[in-house]
Amino acid sequence: MTVVDRFLKYVKFDTESNTETGTTPSTPGQMVLARELEKELYEMGLEDISLDDKGYIMATLPANTDKKNPTIGFVAHMDTSPDLTGKDVNPRIVKNYDGKDIVLSQELNVILSPVDFPEMSDYKGQDLIVTDGKTLLGADDKAGIAEILTAVQYLKDHPEIKHGKIRIGFTPDEEIGAGADYFDVEKFGCEWAYTLDGGPIGELEYENFNAAGVKITIQGRSVHPGYAKDKMVNALVVANKLISLLPSSERPEHTTGYEGFYHLTNVSGTVDAATVGYIIRDHDRNLFEQRKKLMKDAVDFINKLYPESTTVEIKDQYYNMREKVEPVKHVVDLAFEAMTAVGVTPIVKPIRGGTDGARLSFMGLPCPNIFAGGHNFHGRYEFVPILSMEKAVEVVVKIVELTGKN
């Protein structure tokens, strides 16, 4: 089975995660995919295959040499983002992309255009996998799963490539910050690992955001609008005032590189009560703490205007893995060498997001991130070039080969 065959199969599974269920995995579709992957692992003849009740999958490709080699791992996540539906994904392949607009949905007038996404021009002449304009695609991170399994099958079919023990791990709920919650690092048993959860071809990342989730609850006072003077407290108006207190220039759409942000993720409610959701991100730990303080200060200010109306809950989600990976930077250098060896130009850059690898690094498993090939994650404009996926497979194989030689 090719990497494309695998990918097109996996995106048909509805694995959108959900912050509200309180279960792991957070949605039943993730376990459905997990059981399918478990079945494939058995069919491939791998060993030590396990699927626990939380949806975590692990498996082993045994060493094929007596040489003492480190045990390394490769990790990807099964869920897709709740930002857009992952149900009834209907991918199609655009052959020999001509560099022009791609009509994703005539019905909805959804057009994937290099005017809006200039990076598309980098893939002129290549085959692209796109959506039908109604759902996300799921390359984040089903491309990673497909790439890992295709690479492992290649290694199994080519025993002339000598290697140590290789471990595979697939996780649920990464998109809601819970992918590493029940990951058993000791059971995984690796000296280091790589997540295949990055974006465009060549990305190699060992820095990521420090991250926190924010839930703000506002209690208003609903009174008939005809008799509301000096009595009504409109929770929706309070929410709008709070939002206006945060710097508008520090939103995701105005930041890049190492710049952090406040990202408004949801607002819901009525006159009587409202909730506001944010995520806070910054690469620098001190600036991250300052951002959290500013959020608390904004709520305190609102409570001066509307006493005891507003509460805030801020929960740290993950931290910058650089702190844990840099002392063992040879694992990054190895991936850099592997990319170069297969004709991929490494792009070492900070992740403007997070991966399971960030939390795993703080749990004792250094885990930088490698490209999976996709673009425009979490939305209907998501696409992945087929060549990028094939090159990701080659990079995994080469990392294993170089580890065996070294």
Look up 79 and say whether it is catalytic. yes
CB 175 within 8 A of CB 26: no
Nearest to 311 by CA among 217, 235, 228, 174: 217
SS3 call for 301: helix
Q: In DSSP terms, which residues pair with 280 in a beta bridge?
A: 212, 262
Catalytic residue among 174, 197, 203, 282: 174
CB 120 within 8 A of CB 129: no
Other Cβ atoms closer than 10 A to 362: 17
Residue 279 dihedral angles phi and psi, to the nearest 5°: -120, 145
CB 162 within 8 A of CB 64: yes
d(CA 233, CA 63): 67
d(CA 325, CA 332): 8
| Ramachandran quadrant class, 130 (left: phi over 0; alpha: psi -120 to 50; beta: rest) | beta
Tell me which amino acid residue 72 is.
I
Look up 174 and say whether it is catalytic. yes
CB 71 within 8 A of CB 167: yes
Catalytic residue among 79, 147, 356, 390: 79
**Catalytically active residues, by annotation:** 79, 174
